[in-house]
Structure formats: C-alpha cells, structure tokens
Structure 1
Amino acid sequence: MKALVIGSSGGIGQALAARLRVDLGSDAVATLSRSEDGFDLGDEASITQAARDLGDRYGAFNLIINATGALMIDSPSPEKTIKAISADAMMSQFRVNAIGPALLLKHFHPLLPRKSRSVFASLSARVGSIGDNRLGGWISYRAAKAAQNQIIKTAALEIGWTHPDAIVVALHPGTVATQLSRPFSKDHHTVEPDHAAARLLEVLAKLGPPQSGGFFSYDGEAIDW
C-alpha cells in the first residue's frame, strides 16, 4: 500500500504523514507541500508536474489525502456579516478551498488503482454544510468549503465509473490545535493534530465504495450537505 499526503507541512498534514509512515513505512508514503517542494496549489502547471513526477516514482497510490486549506487569506478574520464581503477575499477562498481541490482531483485521481480499493479524501469543514448552518457568518469560507463538498460529490460519481472500488470523500477533522484554528478555538474543545490524524485514518479504514461521495466527521458521523 502507498499513500500520498498533499499539504504535508500543515499541522494535520504533518500528523497524517507521520502516522502513515509508522503504519506503512517511510518508503510507502509520499508528501507534497509548498514549503518542502515548491508545490503551488494555485498553479495548475505545478499540480500537473507534481502528479506526473509522483506517478513516475510511485506508480499508483491506494490513499491520497488532501490536507490543504486556509481560513484567513486576504483578510484578518472571517466575515461576521454579509456587509463585510470582499470580492477579492472571497475569490481567494475559492481558489484555495474549492478550485485547488478540484484541480487535485483532476490530476491525481488517475494515480488511484483501477482494480483495488483506493481512497481520495479531502479535508473540508462542518461549517461548509448548508444544512448544518445555524449561526451564519464566515460567508466566504463556508461557501468555498460547500463548493468543495459539491466537487467531491460530483467527482466521486465520475471516478466510480472507472474506479469501482474507489472511495472519494470529504472529511471534517474537528477543531484541531493548529495555526488555522487557534484564533477561533477559545470556546471549542480542541485536539492535538496527532489525535485528529488517528481519528481520520480510523474513519477512512471503515469506509467502502457505497460511502463514496459522502461527507464524514472525525467520529464517522455522516454530515448533512
């Protein structure tokens, strides 16, 4: 079994890669990040080249995890009201949290084996759930994550035609003690990245093709779209 963690320099990405190296061995785990590899999620040429290089080196991956994402990009904090929306800030959110994952699916899903179980999992967020939204606010981030969820659902259907044993899912990791969530975790129970990584890998291990296209929490609960 071989695994790839994209966004491996972030808190959760680092923890996932470390866990997988223990489970599978260092030679079976590939990582990809801007700081370590110059990988640019906003540049399709960079994504294309990375997929080509990793395919040449590893062949196929049984597990690909997208751990990229950002909450604050072009603004000091998420919007609390629709009056605070900025077109540029919203576009940046979509570029990182929706368009980036879409391009990863486009270029990396061919590295999943066609005739055996495989997983492409992308870190989303519960706040991207439309049905679960009871507080409002964070409009650009919520909308970008909701778009990612739709991309995952749609891609899962298409990938299933050629990869019948593939599982393509969105994951909510919970509130993890990382740089992304730290400014907003005061009133929330947080867990360390290693604990979050262990929970996410446990969830993925229990999923099968019938769950492909789903949105799951760290405890295995299916989340409302």
Structure 2
Amino acid sequence: MNATLRERFIDLHRMAIAALITGAGQGIGLEFVRQLLQRDRSDLLYATYRNPESELLTFRDDRLRCLPMDITDESQIASVIQKIQTDPSTLELVVNCVGVLHEGSMQPEKSLRHIHSEQLLNYFQVNSIGAVLLAKHIQPLLKHQNRSIFATISAKVGSIGDNQLGGWYGYRASKAALNMFMKTTAIEYKRTCPKAIVVTLHPGTTDTNLSRPFQRNVPPEKLFSVDRTVEQLLTVLDGLQARDSGEFFSWNGDRLPW
C-alpha cells in the first residue's frame, strides 16, 4: 500500500473529531461556529440554536449539524446528545455560550427593590441550571482517551471576590452559581472523564445584543468585536492543561477570583 492509499485508508477508518457549540444562534456562539469552520478544527461541528430565523441556519457546510435546543428544557438537551451519539465521532470540544442578561421587560436589577422571584428563577434557569444539565448529559461522550474541553461562558461580574459595585443581583448570582456548578463538575469529571478539562470563561465586554444597552461607559479599547473575543477565547482554550480544570479564566488567560 503506497503512502497516499494508506493516508486515505486511515482517514476513512479513524473516528471523526467533533465539537459542540450551544447557544450558536447569535453573538459569541455564532462566531465560534464561523471560526471553527474557517480554521478546519473539527470533522463535525454540532451547533444548537433557539431562534428558527437565526443566521446560523444560512451557513452551508457539510461538517455542520444545526440542532434546535432550549437549554431550559432537559428533554431537549438529552435529545441533542442522543443525536450526537449516533455519529461515530469523538467529542473533543464543547463550548456553552447560552446566557441571558436582559430580554423584553427583564432587565438587570439596580437595587433590592427591583428584585422579583420570577426574574431570578429565569436567570438561574438559563445561566446556571442549563449548563450543569448539559454537563450531566454530555458526560458519557467525554469518557474517551483524547484531551477534551468543556467550557462555559461566564462573566467577571459573577466573581464574588471582584464585586465592588453591587447591583445586577440575578445576573451576578446566576453566574456565581454557574462557576460553582462547573467547579464541582470538574471534580467529578476528574474521576469519570480524566482527560476532560472543565473551565468557565469571561469573554470581556463584547459588542453583542447582550451588552449593547450597557456599552455607554465602556472605553472603546475594552469593547471587543465578536471575532476578536472568539479569537482570544480560542487562544485560551488551546493553552489549557489538565491542571487548569475547574478554573475561571479571563479572555487574556488570567485566572479570576471566585
């Protein structure tokens, strides 16, 4: 068998390398899909969305699998994971980009008098609980011998140690809960998925719909385009080592306080 035929044989019989981006319908998640496809990082790229009119659905690439999913519905998470399991692939990258700060009448609280239980529950359901349910269902797919990463977009305002301004009760608390969920997941994964690295990421203030109403006082040099944000986060992910599992990283690779 000559070299060319041998390479083709290996290519046909090796397990495909797969990645999953949740919350890929817009913003940072959508840009992760775009850059991963451009960089040819995976043989298969699964991307979940909630809005059926998302730009994601206009992408044309044989490697891309677009799957509808609402992260607040555990049955939908389980359904997506079951679909991924049907493909003979090795999942090596998961990036959860789902998050909510404001939506319709839902706005971050400036003081205690603005707190409402329904809004708090929504923050936790989207920003915290959905991520740990994803970690629960995806665990079997990370029990392989290749290095893999489970990353979730968090926020620096979720750092209790860094909180100097107050306000934004629900968003801050739900991101702090997310960090705890992922720290605890990392500890369990060390036993069940020893090659998996679990981290939370602060992307910096990025020019997306999530941050747009709150950009007035952000210096231009600290407001990142989505392509810059994703480039920076991919650099952080590429540099992760096993000892980094369970840590909280900023866009520039700095470790953030809990």
Q: Shorter chain as normaliser: what TM range?
A: over 0.9
Structure 1 unmatched ranges of 5 or more: none
Question: 1 or 2 for the larger relative contact order (CA 8 Å, sep ≥6)?
Answer: 1
1:224 match:
257
Secondary structure of 1:65's aligned partner: strand
Distance 1:58 1:83, change over 3 A: farther
1:187 corresponds to 2:203? no
Residue identity matched to 1:34: R
Distance 1:74 1:144, change over 3 A: farther
Residue identity matched to 2:229: A
Contact 2:18 2:89 in 1 (8 A): no
Q: CA deviation at 1:26?
A: 6.9
Secondary structure of 2:254's aligned partner: coil
Secondary structure of 2:90's aligned partner: coil
Q: CA deviation at 1:81?
A: 0.6
1:169 corresponds to 2:199? yes
Residue identity matched to 2:142: L
Distance 1:129 1:58, change over 3 A: farther
Residues in 1 aligned to 2:190 and 2:84: alpha-carbon distance in whole angstroms: 22
Q: CA deviation at 1:113?
A: 4.3
Q: 1:211 aligns with which of 241, 244, 253?
A: 244
Q: How does 1:58-207 map to 2 (within 5 A)?
A: 58-73=88-103, 75-188=105-218, 189-207=222-240
Contact 1:196 1:218 in 2 (8 A): yes
Q: Number of aligned pairs? A: 225
Q: 1:44 aligns with which of 70, 74, 84?
A: 74
Which of the two has greater strand per residue? 2
Q: Deviations over 1:11-33 (max 9, x none)?
A: 10011111111222674222111
1:24 corresponds to 2:51? no
State which drifts further: 214-223 or 161-170: 161-170
Q: CA deviation at 1:166?
A: 1.1
TM-score under structure 2 normalisation? 0.84
2:25 match:
9
Contact 1:5 1:32 in 2 (8 A): yes
Secondary structure of 1:60's aligned partner: strand
Distance 1:46 1:164, change over 3 A: same
Secondary structure of 2:206's aligned partner: coil
Which is greater in Rg? 2
